[in-house]
């Protein structure tokens, strides 16, 4: 039971991290100081996808799921969102490019609107 709870919690944490990578730039528009959390997270997320690496959370999810004896309710449904069936390397790269492009556009907006105004006399 404890492994099931831990596996489900880790899957939910993983999903929250992915959502922060994808949509965290929108939070930065309202709270520019969050860029110091979002930029490293977005960079990590992009590198994982572009590099074709496995996220360390995935390894621990699989370990806990194995010790729990399989997938639970949360595990079953959320894992399909994180790792959809039919996900190919091309789709991973396209998703990474989309996330980088969207966040780059958001950060251009943020930096243009939070820069200190210059007064030329």
φ, ψ dihedrals at 44, nearest 5° = -60, -45
Q: Quick one: pLDDT at residue 114?
A: 77
The pair of structure tokens assigned to 120 is 């030329």
Contact 65, 7 (CB under 8 A): yes
pLDDT digits (tens, 9 = 90+) for 71-119: 777 877 888 888 888 889 999 899 899 989 999 999 999 888 876 666 6
Residue 119 falls inside a structural domain: no
Please determine, for residue 50, whether its predicted confidence score (pLDDT) is greater than 70.
yes
Please determine, for residue 12, whether its predicted confidence score (pLDDT) is greater than 60.
yes
Residue 36 falls inside a structural domain: yes
pLDDT digits (tens, 9 = 90+) for 61-80: 889 988 988 777 787 788 88
**Domain, as residue range, for 78:** 2-114
| pTM above threshold 0.95 | no
Please determine, for residue 121, whether its predicted confidence score (pLDDT) is greater than 60.
no
Residue 29 buriedness (CB in 10 A; 0-12 / 13-18 / 19+): middle
Q: Quick one: pLDDT at residue 117?
A: 63
Domain count, the chain: 1
Residue 23 falls inside a structural domain: yes
Gap between the Cα atoms of 64 and 41, Å rounded: 24
């Amino acid at each position: 039971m404890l492994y099931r709870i831990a596996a489900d919690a880790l899957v939910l944490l993983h999903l929250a991290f992915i959502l922060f990578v994808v949509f965290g730039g929108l939070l930065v528009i309202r709270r520019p100081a969050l860029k110091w959390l979002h930029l490293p997270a977005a960079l990590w997320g992009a590198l994982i996808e572009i590099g074709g690496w496995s996220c360390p959370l995935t390894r621990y999810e699989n370990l806990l799921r194995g010790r729990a004896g399989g997938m639970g309710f949360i595990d079953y449904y959320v894992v399909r969102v994180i790792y959809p069936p039919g996900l190919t390397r091309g789709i991973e790269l396209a998703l990474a490019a989309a996330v980088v492009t969207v966040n780059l556009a958001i950060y251009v907006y943020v930096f243009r609107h939070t820069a200190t105004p210059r007064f030329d006399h």
